Amino acid sequence: MKNVSRPELPKALKRKRARRIILRLLAFFALSAALFAVLYFWGESLFPFGEKHHTARKVFYTALMLLPFFICRVPFKFIDSSWSGTVVRVDVDQGVSSYLEMGQTEPYWKMRVVLTVEKSNGKLIKRTARSFGEIMRYAHIPTPGKIEYHAEEFSVGDKVHKYYLFEYLFVSNLKKADRKRCIECGSTNGLEDKNCWSCGSALIELNGE
């Protein structure tokens, strides 16, 4: 069990994260207010409990008012869930999946690089570091060697960082660092790049580790 220092988020990403937290809060309050208004103005006609069942109505309304907490996952979604760890294993996984398009299922080859990471608290977790899909209609077999090629971007000992409210993992290894990943869209960028070539988002700077 070793502590891994997490490179700091660039200011632009911190601002983005703050905006996301505020939007989530606003959505929660808007939902709560809307539900409250519906119950206040139309509650009696929507849910005719009758005069005698005053307590039942109260219990029912309270349960309904708890819904926004579940839907918006308050307060859990507001707890900083960032974590860091070290890669202990790199696997490739090729399987079959499908998605729905215009009411038809479209099967595709699903290729994933799966990292087993030992978190700073000693827990082992598996996370997808890269994934690709190839539609079976166009590819009888998954492109040979493709996923193995991308798996080589990762190795045992790499540091892994997950930032709260950002989707993609930041994986770094200073010794062989020649690229860095965008935690917003997952694209690979050059070490010197300040912004992602694909989505324009600010990129994390590697620090000494």
Minimum distance of Zn ion from residue 181's CB (angstroms):
8
DSSP code at position 202: B
190 counts as binding Zn ion under rule CB under 5 A: no
Containing 138, the helix (H) or strand (E) segment is: none
Q: How many whole angstroms separate alpha carbon 107 and alpha carbon 123?
A: 34
3-state secondary structure of 18: helix
Q: How many whole angstroms separate alpha carbon 50 and alpha carbon 53?
A: 6
Q: How many other CB atoms sit within 10 Å of the CB of residue 86?
A: 17
Among 115, 169, 182, 202, binds Zn ion (CB under 5 A): 182
Minimum distance of Zn ion from residue 197's CB (angstroms):
8
Selected range binding Zn ion among 33-41, 43-51, 97-105, 200-208, rule: CB under 5 A: 200-208
Phi, psi of 66 (to 5 degrees): -85, -15
Range 1-60, binding Zn ion (CB under 5 A): none
Which residues pair with residue 135 across a beta bridge?
Answer: 108
Contact 90/113 with Cβ under 8 angstroms? yes
Among 198, 205, 207, 209, binds Zn ion (CB under 5 A): 198
194 counts as binding Zn ion under rule CB under 5 A: no
196 counts as binding Zn ion under rule CB under 5 A: yes
Selected range binding Zn ion among 54-62, 94-102, 127-135, 187-195, rule: CB under 5 A: 187-195
Minimum distance of Zn ion from residue 185's CB (angstroms):
3
Minimum distance of Zn ion from residue 168's CB (angstroms):
8
Minimum distance of Zn ion from residue 183's CB (angstroms):
8
187 counts as binding Zn ion under rule CB under 5 A: yes
Q: How many whole angstroms separate alpha carbon 71 and alpha carbon 23?
A: 14
Minimum distance of Zn ion from residue 152's CB (angstroms):
21
Question: Closest CB to Zn ion among 148 and 205?
Answer: 205
Give 134's contacts (C-beta < 8 A, 6+ positions apart). 108, 109, 111, 142, 143
- Quickly list H helices, the chain: 11-46, 54-71, 146-151
The length of the chain is 209
183 counts as binding Zn ion under rule CB under 5 A: no
87 counts as binding Zn ion under rule CB under 5 A: no
Among 185, 188, 195, 206, binds Zn ion (CB under 5 A): 185
Interface ranges with Zn ion (CB under 5 A)? 182, 184-185, 187, 196, 198-199, 201
